[in-house]
Amino acid sequence: MLGIFCRLWYRDGKAGYLADLPRVLDYVLGVARLYPALLDFADLVAKAVGDRDLTQPRTAPAPAG
């Protein structure tokens, strides 16, 4: 879901789903941390996101075309 929400912004210019990213990220990390095999994944994702506000897009999307 995280990737789909980002794609909707970057490819389609639909920023509405960005507001859902923090909640979905918390869910993904919470579930991943329940499984020892996914702990490295959870750490990688958490480190990549850092303290960035996911509800704010980095740049304007490219024009569709």
Count CB neighbours of 25 within 10 A: 17
pTM of the model: 0.76
- 28-52 CB burial, b ≥16 within 10 A, e <16: bbeebeeeeeeeeebeeeeeeeeee
Q: Which residue has the higher pLDDT, 54 or 37?
A: 37
pLDDT tens digits, one per residue of 16-27:
888 999 999 999
Q: Which residue has the higher pLDDT, 47 or 5?
A: 47
Tokens of 50: 């850092």
Average pLDDT, rounded, for the chain: 88
